[in-house]
Structure 1
Amino acid sequence: MQPDLELVHIRKGESFAAWRHGYPFRTVRWHYHPEYEIHLVVATSGTFYIGDFVGNFGPGQLIMTGPNLPQNWISEIEPGEVVPARSLVIQFPEPFIEDACSSMPEMDALRPLLERSRRGLLFDEETSAKVRPVMERLLEAQGMARLALFWEILDLLVNAPHYEVLASLSFELDLTGIGDSGINRALSHLREHLTEQIEEGELAEMVGQSQSAFSRAFKRHTGTTLVRYRNQLRIDLACQMLLTDQEIKVAEICYDVGFSNLSNFNRHFLKFKGMSPSQFRTTFAAQKAFVMAE
């Protein structure tokens, strides 16, 4: 089965994405993305897939994956159960880290880690326990403090005493058909222009299809329409902003993620999340306080 392209959105003024997500969630599927990823499970157990590797996971599992390595984590939960916070995630683009390595000699120590991560790296419990509080702080940090915590995490991974390489040496994802497929090219374009008003006809023309053919293909691939899919991505981005920046106002987030008015934003947020943006922020703040108290 060919993996789907995941759209990783890095906010303007930031070098990488850092966020938490619950379960079920839209990214929980067989997927890939061109960014490196650091993935820490904080709740639930289940089965995970990295390249051609299959294993079991539980709370505390820490994995780093390189660009375009297919992956998925499927939690074992009761029907209808919702887990508010399952994973902590950092995603950073290859050009960002390559530029840093090229400009700072101290970064040479990072290159072996980056190369090994292209097959997926599972770290030991000791490293996971050290990384988790730093990731938690990073999710709340801004500016230079956020960047400093990012480098601290990479330093912990570089110096990890034990790790396991996951995908086999023979595994290699063939991106020839995937990257050039009409739908994934359209998804990639959406990723780069998520906050802009891109019409279905524009995407259809870009991939050389009629609008009706593109619409049918898009729905088969994503399970929904372009408008709903784009709104879902924007609401997901809004959720990240609500959780990572307690000072930013809901109205600012509304326009930052591409909605043209606040009432439309609130209506779609309620439809996708079952609560208002303010309630969402309050609920997860309470959940975080409860987890920390434990």
Structure 2
Amino acid sequence: MQPDLELVAVRRDESFKVWSHGYPYRTVRWHFHPEYEIHLIVATTGKVFVGDHISSFVPGNLVMVGPNLPHNWVSDVPEGETVERRNLVVQFGPEFVAHCMESFPEWRQVEALLAASRRGVSFGAQTSAAIQPLFIELLNARGLRRIVLFMSMLEVLVSAQDSELLASPAYQTDPSGFAATRINHALSYIGKNLSSDLRESDLAQLAGQSVSAFSRYFRRHTGMPFVQYVNRMRINLACQMLMDDELSVTDICYKVGFNNLSNFNRQFLLAKGMSPSKFRRYQHLNDASRDASDEAAARGDGVANAPAIVPAVQKRGRVRISAGAYRAT
């Protein structure tokens, strides 16, 4: 059975995603994603599937899975019954890992754990007990506290003496093969053609399904109807464009695939709680605060011994500190 692709959305103002869900839930199926995942079961028993590994789980089951490794937890819950909170989840992407590797030499200690997670790593009761309070606090943590808790969790996992690899050495993940499944092919097509006229009937034909079957499968996979999903993707693209003043709001409306301005404004307000023009004004306010800070620094305003602001330059798609930009005073 081919696994489904889970679309993990990490907020722009956060480095990783932490959340919980109950049972049944739409992600409780055989699936994969490019992100690393730390998964803790807090309620129910059942079967855990990781790659070609199958075993039983109980509350306290703690597993870390690597990028594109298919996995699933199926609980022994009678039909019709629901569980409010079954598991806790942390997900973080390869780019975040790469940035940490580049920024913190100490992060090298995590490399072995990350490599092992590509087969799935299960941890024993002792490590699970140490992780759970950190996990619970992390659910509601904000700001730097999130980073502290996340790093503390990794420190516990790196030092664990009760870990076990799950998938066999011969098991190889093949995300290119997974992406060839019908729904994932459709999602990829949507992402590449947002500015085009996207019709559910055309995507159903692309997936080789009837419209009704495709509609049910799409909603089960993404958690939302086809039109709502396409609108959300278009709004996300519009937000990126609104951060630049090169295009007017009207131009952006048509470039992201909306066919009239009033519908674009309505959908943007629904998704973001503000109009596109107000979103852009907030970005200008953010830019203005930076400019005002630069001007104050040039005048010598501010508290003595305050931190220096070192200008950065963009080079080959990465932000680097400009050479000679800072000098001691």
- Asked if 1:228 corresponds to 2:225, the answer is yes
Name the CA distance, whole Å, in 2 between partners of 1:43 and 1:233.
35
Name the CA distance, whole Å, in 1 between partners of 2:45 and 2:229.
26
User: Which SS does the other structure have where 2:2 is aligned?
Assistant: coil
> What does the per-residue CA deviation read over 1:66-122, in whole Å, with 9 as the maximum and x for residues that have no partner?
000000100001110000000000000011012101221111100000000000000
Query: TM-score, length-normalised on structure 2?
Result: 0.63
Q: Which amino acid is 1:63 matched to?
A: V
Name the CA distance, whole Å, in 2 between partners of 1:33 and 1:110.
20
Name the CA distance, whole Å, in 1 between partners of 2:231 and 2:202.
26
Shift of 1:233: 11
Cα contact 2:138–2:146 (8 A) shared by 1: yes
Cα contact 1:64–1:120 (8 A) shared by 2: yes
> What does the per-residue CA deviation read over 1:165-201, in whole Å, with 9 as the maximum and x for residues that have no partner?
00000001222332255631443577x79xxxx5894
Q: Which amino acid is 1:228 matched to?
A: P
Larger Rg: 2
- Asked if 1:258 corresponds to 2:271, the answer is yes
Indicate the larger mover: 98-107 or 42-51.
98-107
Name the CA distance, whole Å, in 1 between partners of 2:228 and 2:198.
17
Matched residues, number: 235
Match of 1:86 in 2: 86
Cα contact 1:22–1:82 (8 A) shared by 2: yes
Name the CA distance, whole Å, in 2 between partners of 1:42 and 1:126.
15
Higher relative contact order (CA 8 A, sep 6+): 1
The change in CA–CA distance for 1:189 and 1:214 in structure 2 (over 3 A counts) is closer
- Asked if 1:213 corresponds to 2:226, the answer is no
Pairing of 1:96-245 with structure 2 (within 5 A): 96-181=96-181, 183-187=183-187, 201-202=197-198, 210-211=202-203, 213-214=205-206, 216=209, 220=213, 223-224=216-217, 228=225, 231=228
Q: Which amino acid is 1:223 matched to?
A: R
Query: TM-score, length-normalised on structure 1?
Result: 0.70
Q: Which amino acid is 1:213 matched to?
A: Q
Name the CA distance, whole Å, in 2 between partners of 1:137 and 1:72.
24
Name the CA distance, whole Å, in 2 between partners of 1:218 and 1:119.
37
RMSD: 3.3
Name the CA distance, whole Å, in 2 between partners of 1:218 and 1:40.
37
Pairing of 1:274-289 with structure 2 (within 5 A): none
Cα contact 2:20–2:86 (8 A) shared by 1: yes
> What does the per-residue CA deviation read over 1:96-154, in whole Å, with 9 as the maximum and x for residues that have no partner?
01210122111110000000000000001000001000011111001111111111101
Q: Which runs of 5+ in 2 are unaligned?
A: 233-266, 275-329
Cα contact 1:5–1:187 (8 A) shared by 2: no
Name the CA distance, whole Å, in 2 between partners of 1:102 and 1:10.
21
The change in CA–CA distance for 1:183 and 1:94 in structure 2 (over 3 A counts) is same
Name the CA distance, whole Å, in 1 between partners of 2:174 and 2:214.
19
Shift of 1:44: 0.3
Name the CA distance, whole Å, in 2 between partners of 1:104 and 1:51.
31
Q: Which amino acid is 2:121 matched to?
A: L
Match of 1:57 in 2: 57
Q: Which amino acid is 1:202 matched to?
A: L
Q: Which runs of 5+ in 1 are unaligned?
A: 236-253, 262-294
> What does the per-residue CA deviation read over 1:205-242, in whole Å, with 9 as the maximum and x for residues that have no partner?
xxxx945514737864673456625758999xxxxxxx
Match of 1:242 in 2: none
Cα contact 2:186–2:203 (8 A) shared by 1: no
User: Which SS does the other structure have where 1:113 is aligned?
Assistant: helix
